[in-house]
Structures are given as C-alpha cells and as structure tokens.
Amino acid sequence: MNPLPADLLLLSIAAPLAAALAIALGLPRKPALAAAAAGFAAPALAAVWCWLAFSGAPLSDGYAFRSAYDVGLGHIGIRLALGLNGVAMPLFALAGITGLAAGLYALQSGAERLRLYLMLLLVMQGGLMGVFASVDIFFFYFFHELALIPTFIMVGVWGGRGRNYAAMKMTIYLTLGAMLSLAGIIALYQGSGAQTFDLVSLRAAIAAQPLPELAQKNIFALLMFGFGVLVSLWPLHTWAPSGYAAAPTSAAMLHAGVLKKFGLYGLLQLAFPLLPAGAENWAGVLAWLALANVLVIGMVTLAQSDLRRMLGYSSVMHMGYAFLGLAAGGAPGAGAAVMLMVGHGFSVALLFLLASCIQKRTRTPDMAGMGGLVKDAPVLAAFFTAATLAGLGLPGFANFWGELGVFVAVWGAPALGPGFAAAAVAGIIISAIYGLRSVARVFFGPRTATFGEIAEAQPPRDLRRGEKIPALILLAALLLIGFWPKSISTAIDAGLSSAAGAATSAAIDRNRLRSAAIDRGTAADAGGAGPEERRDAASTLAAAGTAAAAAK
Amino acid sequence: MPLTPVQLALATLLLPLGSAAFIALFLRRRGGAAAFVSVAACAGHAAAAFLLAFGGHREAAVNASFEWLRLGAFAVSIDIKFDDLAALMLCIVALVGFCVHVFSLGYMRGDSARGRYFGGLGIFMFSMTGIVLAGNLFMMFIFWELVGFSSWLLINHYCEKPAAAAAAKKAFIVNRVGDFGFLLGIIWCHHAFGTVNLAGIAAQTAAAGAGAHAISAGIPLLLFCGAVGKSAQFPLHVWLPDAMEGPTPVSALIHAATMVAAGIYMLCRVEPLFAAAPAALTVVMWTGVVTALYAALCAVVQGDIKKILAYSTLSQLGYMVAAFGLGGQTAAHAGAATAGTHAAAGGVLLAAGAAAAMFHLATHAFFKALLFLGAGSVIHGCHHEQEIFKMGGLFRKMPLTFAFFTIGVLAIAGLPFISGFYSKDAILHLAQQKNGLVFAVLVFTAVLTAFYMARMWKLVFLGRSRSEASDYVRESGPAMVLPLAVLAAFSVAGGWLALYAPWFADVAGRVPHVGGAGLVIMSAAIIALGAGVALALYKAPVRGLSKLVSPDTLAVRAPLVFGALALANALPDRLYNHYVAKIQQRLALVLNSIDRFLIDGLIVRGLAAVTGLFGMGARALHTGSVHAYVYWFLAGAALAWAFAAGVF
C-alpha cells in the first residue's frame, strides 16, 4: 500500500519536534545545532521524496501514503490520520523546502539565545508539516496552533522595531481567526452527525446527507471569516504588514510563506467541497473582498517606504488572487489558487530572507535610505530582482501559472465574469510598479547620503554562503515549477477532479474519470480495469497518466 | 547526424537560453568567456534558424505541441507553428541578432558587466524566438513578457545611472499597461473560441465569417493593446525614446529591429480576427498614422543621435501598424471567404496590408539595425558623446562607418531601388487606393523622414569637428565594421530578396505590387524635397560651438515651430508624470491613511476599546463583597426561573 520506505509523513512531523525536545532538554550548543539541522533537513527530504513518489503512488480515497495512529481519542472520532492528496502534496513540499531554507538561514543568523530560537522554529516546522499531512481535521487544526504559537513568541522576543505591539496585534487577530474557524469546524462535526473528524469519513457522511442550507451558509461564513483573518482577507488584514515588518526573518519566511496558506487550504479542503450551498451564497462576497485585497491593498503597497512593510502588503495583495481563484471555483480556479499558494510561498519566503540581508547591509528598513547597493552586492541584487519578478508574475517563475489560471477562471466563472477579470488583471500593473520601484530604490542609482556614510564606515559585502544557499534553494524551486508546472499541476488537477467526484457515488465516479482519461487520448487500458480492480478511480487516472508519460 | 525539423526549432529556442544559464552560473565575472559563449550560441541559433527556414521545412514538418500545464479545462501548451511568416521573422531575428552579438564584442570591450550583458542578450534571443515560434496566444504572452524582462535588464545595463534605472522601469510598466489589454484579449479568446491556438482561432473565425456568429471587435482591439505597448504606438510610445539609455547594440537589436516589431508580428498572427471584425482595423490604422506623423515631427527637434533614431523607429512602426490597418479594409470579404480553405490547409492568409507591414518590418529591421549600429560606431568613436551638435566632420575620420550609415539613411528615406523604397511604396500604394487622407499624411511623414535623416547625416558627418569628443576619432575595429557591412548589404538588397526570392512566398506574394515610373518619381520627389530642405537649412558644422545661440538652425530661424514641436514632444510625458505624481501617488497615500487610521486605528482599536469597556463593566461587578454576590445570585436565579417558566 505505502510505497515509502517508512512513514515519511510521520517522520517529517516527528523529526523537528524531537529535535526541539532534545534542545529543550538542554543539549549543548554544537549538538543542538546539529540536531536542529537534522530536524530541518528531515522534513525537506521527506517532502521531496513524497513529491517524487506521488505520481506513482496508489491512492485510496484520493490520498496517498495513508497511515493512522490511535491517540486515545477514538471515542470522539479523533485519530492521527496522515496522508497526502493532490492538493496537499505541493503544499507539503512547499512546507518542507521552505522550512529547510528558513532553518538554514536561522542556523547562521547568530540570533541571541540561538538554541531557544531554533527550538521554537523547529516546533513551528513540525506543526507546518502536520497541517498539510493531516487527514483528520482535528489534527489539521491542532498542528496549525502548534505552529502558530511559536510565531507569537518569536515575534515578541526576537522581533524588530515595534515588536510588542505587532506581536500583541498578531496574537489577538490570529487567535480570533483561529477560534472562528474552530467554531466552524466543530459545527461541521456536529452537523454531519458522523461522529468523526476524519476528513474522508466526514466527506462521505456529508455526501450521503448534505447539511441543511441555512447551516451550510452559517458554517461557511464562520470558516470564511475565520480562515480569512488567517490569510489576511481585506479588511481583516492589518495584522500582516506590522507583524511581518517586526517578525524575525525565519519566522516571517515560515509564516508568510507556509503557515498563512493554512486558511486557504482549509477553505479549499473543507468549506468549498463540504458546504456547496454555503459557497454559492458567499462566493460573491468573498470575491469582492478579494478584489479589495488586490486593488486597494495594491495601491496601499505603492505608498510604502519601509521595505518589509511593503513586502507584507504585497503578500496581502497576492492573497487576494488566491481568494479570487477559490471564489471562481472549478478545477481551473481552485487549481490555480493552489499553484499560486505554492509560488507565492516560495517567492515571499525568498523576499523576506533577502530583505533581511539587505537590511543588515544598509542598516535601515527604509527604502528612502538605500540605493546603489548593486555595486557592492551584485548577487544579492540578482536574487532580489528574481524574487521580485517572481512576485509580480513574470513567466518562468511559479507564480505566473497561478495568476494566469486565476484570471482565466475568474473570467469564466458565471458569478464573476469579464468585468471582474479586468479589475483583477489591473493588479499586474500595480504589482509591476511597486516591485520594480523597490528594486530600483534599493539597488540602482547612486547611494543616498545616509547609506553612503554607513557604507563608508563598513563596506557592504555580497551574499555570504550561509545566506546564498537557502536563497538558492527557494529560487530553484520557483524556477523549477515555473519552467515545469506539471511537476505539481498534474497532482493538483487529479486531486481536484477526484475531490469533485467524491460527492457522487464511487461507481459513477470511476466511469467518469476513466472516460475522461480516455478522452485525453491516454493509453489507458479501459478493458483491463475489470470488476476485481480494487484501486480507486483516481489512481486509475494517475496510472493512466504515468502510462501516457511512459508511452511518450 | 541531421537534426529533425522539430529538433532544429527546439535548438533555436534552447541554445540562447542555455548560454544565458551557463553565463549566469559560471561566467559572471569572466566577461571575455561569457562573450565567446554567447556569440557561439548565437551562431548556432542562426545556423539552426537558416537550416530550418531555407531547408524548406514548414508547417507539417515543424509544427509540434507539448502540453505544459493542465488544470481542468484550462490548458497551456508549447505549440510550435512554423509557416512562411514565422520563417521570415526567425531569419530576421537570427541575422540581426548575430550581427549585434558580433558588434557587441567590439562595443562592449572593457565593460565591467559583460557577463550580465551577454546573459541578457541570450535571454532576449530565447524569448524573441519563442514569440516567433509560438503557435498559441498563451505561449506568445509568456515569451512576450519575457522579452519585456530582457528589455528591462538590458536598458538597465548602466544601472548606477538613475536615468537608466528609471527608463528600464518605465519601459516595463508601460508595456505592462499594454499587456493588461493583451492578456484580457487572450482570455476572451480562450472563452470565446475554447482555444487560443492560432490555427484553431483561424478556423473558428472562418466559420464565423460564414455566418455562424459574429465576433466582437473587442477581442482584436484588446489584443491590439499588446501591440500598442510593445510596438510603442501612441499613446504608449513614451517608453521607447527613454529606452535609449541602454547600450547602443541593445537599442539596435531590441528597440529597433526585433522586439518592438513583435507587436506587428503578433497582429499578423491574429490577422483572421481582424478580418472578421473590420471595425477594429480602422482603429489600428489611425493609431498607426498618428504615431507615424507624431514621431516624425518629434524627431525633427531631437539633438541626441539615438533619440532621433528612436523617434524614427516609432514613426516607421507607425507605418507598419497603419499598413496593417489599411489592408483588410477591402480585402475583408475576400479574406473571410477564402480563409476557410486556407486555415484548413494550415497556412497563413495575410491581407495585403498585413503583408506590406511584414515586408516593411523586414527591410526596416535591416536598415534600422544598420543605422543604430552605425550610430553605435560613431558614439564609440566619439567617447560616448551622443549629441549631434558636438560631432561633425566624421566622414574623413570614419570613412567605412560613414559609407554604411549613408546606405542606411538612403534606405530609410526610400531611395528608389533599395530596400526601403519597395516596402514603403507598397504601403503608400495601398493607402492611395484606400484612403486619401491617410495617403497624404503618410507622404508628408515620408518627407519629414528624409528631412530629419538628412539633418542628422549632415550634422554628424559633414563639415568639421565641433568639440573635443569628435576631434580624436578613429574608425572602429573589424568586429564593429563587419556587421555594418552585412547589414548594409541586406539594406540594399533586402527588398529584392524578399520580393523575388522563393522562400517566403506566403508573405511576399501578398505584398501589393506596384510598377511604373510614377512611384519612382514620387519617391525621388519625396527625398528631394525632404533632404533638400534639410541640407539647405542646416549649415555644415563649423569649428566650435556658440554658447549663446542655439546650435539648432530650426530653433533660430523658426522658434515658434521649434517650440511647438518641442512642446508636443514633451506633452505626453508631462501628462503621465502628472498622473503618477498627482493622482496615483496621492490615491495610494489616501488609501494608505485609510488603511492605517480607519481600518487599523478606528475599527480595530475601537473594537479593542469596546472590549475593554465590557471588561471594565464586568470587573465592576466583582466587588469582592459577599452581599453583592448574593444579590447577583438572586437576580440570576430569578432570570433562570423566568426563562424556565417561559416568561420570555
């Protein structure tokens, strides 16, 4: 059943947590650093392994690599059930790879009380891997909290300017958002009557007996606004810019890059498939708020002078595209949203990493006090330019596919249409303006007077190896998906089609997907799939895909 | 081992990309090696392109499709479509690209960032080839954006200069404004036709032309927005003159010969859509006419040799766009009627105007690249002086450059029997048939073209040196002169080659053919008038520059005319700057204050204050006195009883 040598999903969660525990128990400095390195490397390796193995892995109920562990809460329907479906796998890979980059950066950062810092970061990493590996929504939520709480501490203790206010605001906002979504999850659990938090059983129960329409609408609203706060949906976004401006680099990378995607992932896995009537009712509101994210926050981003605040706002803006993709719905919209989540995750993590490299050299967070850095640090300039261009959706980087797909889906969505698409596409002009403006202000032209003095006193160096390696990891991921989007889109597409099919009965589902596979001109041997065929419909599709690939 | 046509096509695409990646990874600090790798890759690109184009490989043998991404119904693929149109464009890109690469060996010698420069050229060649080969609009958009990026990178080459950084940014953003419409047009196509494949669109428009359903003029007009941005048509022309901040070979390759012409090429690619919606063609035609005239007027008052050439490029691009807009007007019915059979055969069907635009694109690529590289040779010789009023007398010091540059000037002015004559007269002939006003404007523009080119030519090459910059000038080395010779040869012969050679019949065969002495006389008259006035008005440079009197004779003789032209030249930029500073930035600041003070301040903190008040109220209840708690308990019990009894 499981093609992996061991339960890599469990390993990817347990390894960072074990490393954190070991450090907490008082490992001396050197072994502690080694343990932390192992704790960051293990999930990354597991994630890449799962990415590579996913296309050939057999699926059950749309999930690969499934396993389940009893944690003693079986009587209320909670088990540690792990597995990856087509939507979770790219995000799991994102979490592992970004975690490695953030960890490597933290290891060389020379932060005060480094061991404590690494411990918190490892806890966060364990939680992140858990979020996307969980099939049980109790644990899905639990792992999110596990990752969230260290963030608050890290912002409060290791943060930059205004960290106390930022940490307090972030805590209140995100806790409230998480509480709302928890209320929604519990309501879903109660409403389904399935007495289980297992997503697969829950889906089956709700497919058999959908919730009443009013309940769907209310629960959807809880989830939408709860998750919305976590993903900085306008106007519930103000925690993000101040929070990211103050957060220590690695925490900002992991939160903006990965943890923030929890809300979108929750909407995509829970709210939209389980509450179709609620989604229909609220998709319009969601789309309008998301459009405000794109246009209003886009304009606000133009007005920023603080580099990290600008990045924070731009990240809020791009979340608008992801929301728009979800609101447009269908495989193109939702799939594009996932591609955008992955692309944005890598690019924003890279941007926060580089922003702190810049700030270290210019000694100011304000872009007005920078300039001409390209002469001293050409490699840094190249990396920052690449990350910015990725962020503004240049083809060749992962983000482009997501944005393009969102625009296409929005135009095609009956509730939204061409006008909406035109307004959303206007965002590409805004992001080009603030992106290129920031590159020019930091790197080009002459040095400003203030930066000139600083640079005289201590000439800025180019990227050091410890900074370059994590940046290179993230840039490589951006380019890989940019040039070869099928590396993740095949899984996403199959995952979304099978999720859509899960609502109907399995037999119909199988036929439909098989005929879809034949329609695509693949070499699927339909006759071979007899009644004793035990594999799931989606795995047939995946197998057909690999057969076609092999035939090529 | 001979490569298959598909492999050749992929080689043209991937060789430059490979060289750029190799340079970025390993040769960042080794400029000489980077230059070598880049030129070698470009030679390979050119070889593959010529094998493909002149080996007789077309459509069926070369076309290929690879799926790139699929999300449900939304799919993007890499489609290669190689017809005569693509073959012609690919040859232009390969030839001019190779000349510019070789020229750069000389021009960029001693530049500290040669690695970045040649890497950027590689990315450009890759993305431009992608546009040429693209068989569907999504793919074209992808490479469209990538040429925009390489243009940004190369304009920004001297990035410590604030003007260069600003120009690069402006070029990218203005192009994005055009791409906004282009992308919407593509998405509209995707939903209207269910495909963005060029052959698929052609087939469907043919069906629509037969009366199935009408095609909105909105689609071609939105697609045209992309061409307005990329080919710098009025009112998005403002980025191109600024783009001259880049190194001169880059200006020759990207901002004169190939990338800016991509807009015209794209229009020819989606020509069936225009044929189905002729209303859009009128808009295209007038945009082109206005750009041609406006830019020629602006060129008259420029003092920077590259700016003159930039405005001249704008003007010529305007000619091409106008030609495209002209051609379909009467050909629409015939085009729609035969499009069905033609699209079924998988070929292109170009209206006369589109073919004339493409023909002018080809000849213009050669003579404008020649002029820019010639200007590069001059600038290199004059120690990076670009002001024509500080040059003079260069014909003695740079005889070869002078000779080749003169050929370029004659070609653009349309001297009978060299390339510019054929392509420009094809356009004028078409205009004469279709629209008298357009014809008059275009003829006047041709006179202006001869005027400003003759002005520049005389001030730069004749007379005596005017400043130290041009005192000690030597002829450029062979790396710079040889490409000039090649381009000069094509500037002379390009017209005959394109018209009478058998290789690009689908394009050349549809160029409106004119014979007879009438046109020769008209062309000669245009040149005589324009160049004659210029040569008479502007005196040959004499030693020294007066600080008091403006060196521009026109400014002295006719200050009103000069002032009006200068104002017209500066007006669009002023308007945009006003918009950016006074409207966009203010809106951003206002929204920022709303975000900070209203949403974050009033609402969020206000809510916090309300919560705080509740907290204070609740705290007031906790008095610590047992009596108070007893009363609270009683009140609570009474409430519970009342609720249970159904009082509420």
CB contact under 8 A, A297 and B595: yes
Residue B550's pLDDT band (boundaries 50, 70, 90)? low
Give chain B's end-to-end CA distance (angstroms, integer).
94
Partners of B406 in the β-ladder: none
Q: Is the pLDDT of residue B54 over 60?
A: yes
Pairing type for strands A64-69 and B64-71 reads: unpaired
pLDDT tens string A387-410: 999 999 899 999 999 999 999 999
Nearest to A429 among B146, B159, B173 (CB): B173
pLDDT tens string B295-321: 999 998 888 899 999 999 999 999 999
pLDDT tens string B189-248: 888 888 888 888 888 887 766 555 567 888 889 999 999 999 989 889 999 999 998 899
User: Which of B13, B28, B69, B177 to mutate to probe the A interface, most A CBs <10 Å?
Assistant: B69
CB contact under 8 A, A336 and B74: yes
- Bigger pLDDT: A520 or B475? B475
- pLDDT for B407: 92
- pLDDT for B211: 54
Chain B positions touching A493 (Cβ under 8 A) are 70-72
Q: CA of A457 to nearest chain B CA: how many angstroms apart?
A: 21
CB contact under 8 A, A296 and B595: yes
| CA B199 – CA B135 distance, rounded (Å) | 8
pLDDT tens string A472-486: 999 999 999 999 998
User: Which of A176, A389, A406, A429 to mutate to probe the B interface, most B CBs <10 Å?
Assistant: A429
What does the pLDDT average to over B393-415? Answer: 88
- Closest-CA residue of chain A to B140: A395
* φ, ψ at A235 (rounded to 5°): -100, 35
Nearest to B160 among A303, A446, A497 (CB): A446
Q: What mean pLDDT value characterizes chain B?
A: 84
- pLDDT for B447: 92
Q: What is the DSSP letter of A68?
A: E
CB contact under 8 A, A331 and B71: yes
Q: CA of B501 to nearest chain A CA: how many angstroms apart?
A: 38
Q: Is the pLDDT of residue A346 over 60?
A: yes
Residue B197 C-alpha from the chain's centroid: 23
Partners of B67 in the β-ladder: B77
> Any idea which residue has 């249409």 for tokens?
A417
| CA A201 – CA A186 distance, rounded (Å) | 15
Q: Is the pLDDT of residue B60 over 90?
A: no
- Bigger pLDDT: A538 or B20? B20
- pLDDT for B266: 93
Partners of B387 in the β-ladder: B304
Q: What is the ipTM of this complex?
A: 0.85
Beta strands in B172-236 (DSSP E): none
| CA B423 – CA A387 distance, rounded (Å) | 44
Residue A504's pLDDT band (boundaries 50, 70, 90)? very low
Q: What is the DSSP letter of B71?
A: E
- Give the residue among B491, B518, B500 at the shortest CA–CA distance from B428: B518
Residue pair B131/B249 in contact (Cβ under 8 Å)? The answer is: no
| CA B325 – CA B327 distance, rounded (Å) | 6
- pLDDT for A516: 46
CB contact under 8 A, A428 and B176: yes
Question: Which of A318-327, B164-173, B313-322, B609-618 comes out lowest in average pLDDT?
Answer: B609-618
Chain B positions touching A401 (Cβ under 8 A) are 69, 76
Chain A positions touching B165 (Cβ under 8 A) are 440, 444-445
Nearest to A412 among B146, B184, B191 (CB): B191
Nearest to B177 among A303, A396, A429 (CB): A429
pLDDT tens string B9-26: 888 989 999 999 999 888
Chain B positions touching A297 (Cβ under 8 A) are 595
pLDDT tens string B122-163: 999 999 999 999 989 999 999 999 999 999 999 999 888 888
- Helix, strand and coil in chain B, % to nearest 5: 80, 5, 20
Chain B positions touching A486 (Cβ under 8 A) are 67-70
Chain A positions touching B176 (Cβ under 8 A) are 428-429, 432
Nearest to B588 among A299, A429, A485 (CB): A299
CB contact under 8 A, A235 and B183: no
User: Which of A87, A172, A436, A463 to mutate to probe the B interface, most B CBs <10 Å?
Assistant: A436
What does the pLDDT average to over B483-490? Answer: 91
- pLDDT for B183: 93
What does the pLDDT average to over B81-88? Answer: 88
CB contact under 8 A, A331 and B72: yes
- pLDDT for B213: 57
Chain A positions touching B73 (Cβ under 8 A) are 330-332
Q: CA of A479 to nearest chain B CA: how many angstroms apart?
A: 12
CB contact under 8 A, A335 and B152: no
CB contact under 8 A, A440 and B143: no
Chain B positions touching A501 (Cβ under 8 A) are none
pLDDT tens string B160-178: 888 898 899 999 999 999 9
Residue pair B353/B326 in contact (Cβ under 8 Å)? The answer is: yes
Residue A385's pLDDT band (boundaries 50, 70, 90)? very high
CB contact under 8 A, A300 and B584: no
- pLDDT for B549: 58
Q: What contacts A439, CB < 8 A, 6 or more positions away?
A: A381, A384, A385, A388
Nearest to A493 among B70, B162, B599 (CB): B70
Chain A positions touching B68 (Cβ under 8 A) are 485-486
Chain A positions touching B146 (Cβ under 8 A) are 394-396
| CA A482 – CA A396 distance, rounded (Å) | 4
A379-384: long-range pairs with CB below 8 Å, 24+? A379/A462, A379/A463, A379/A468, A380/A354, A380/A462, A380/A463, A381/A439, A381/A443, A382/B24, A383/A350, A383/A354, A383/A463, A383/A468, A383/A471, A383/A475, A384/A351, A384/A354, A384/A358, A384/A439, A384/A442, A384/A443
Chain A positions touching B164 (Cβ under 8 A) are 444
- Closest-CA residue of chain B to A302: B588
Q: What mean pLDDT value characterizes chain A?
A: 83
Chain A positions touching B595 (Cβ under 8 A) are 238, 296-297, 300
- pLDDT for A531: 37
- Bigger pLDDT: A538 or B108? B108
Residue A111's pLDDT band (boundaries 50, 70, 90)? confident
Chain B positions touching A435 (Cβ under 8 A) are none
User: Which of B28, B74, B138 to mutate to probe the A interface, most A CBs <10 Å?
Assistant: B74
Pairing type for strands A80-84 and B74-80 reads: unpaired
CB contact under 8 A, B600 and A238: yes
Residue B328's pLDDT band (boundaries 50, 70, 90)? low
- pLDDT for A132: 92
What does the pLDDT average to over A312-318? Answer: 92
Partners of A306 in the β-ladder: A366
- pLDDT for A388: 94
